[in-house]
Amino acid sequence: MVQKIIDIVGISDKNFAKAADNAIEVASKTVREIRWGRVSEIECKINDDKIVEYRVSMRLYFDVES
């Protein structure tokens, strides 16, 4: 088995978990056989002393078709 790795960023206005879910949901539309995900970084955008956006940088691992 061989796996390929891609780096993506998920965004949400709710929380970090939803940002990760969004990243995987969108990636899975064009990438098949996603097996693992690793959050490498989390960030948040702040306006008026409040968090308004959550960002999750992820590395996704998927099987290469033979």
pLDDT at residue 1, as a whole number: 87
Q: Please, what CATH class does the domain formed by 3-63 belong to?
A: alpha beta
**Predicted TM-score (pTM) of this structure:** 0.89
pLDDT string in tens for the chain (66-residue length): 899 999 999 999 999 999 999 999 999 999 999 999 999 999 999 999 999 999 999 999 999 987
Sequence-distant (6+) residues with CB within 8 A of 21 are 10, 12
pLDDT at residue 65, as a whole number: 85
What is the distance between the alpha carbons of residues 20 and 17, in angstroms, rounded to a whole number? 5
Domain ranges for the chain: 3-63
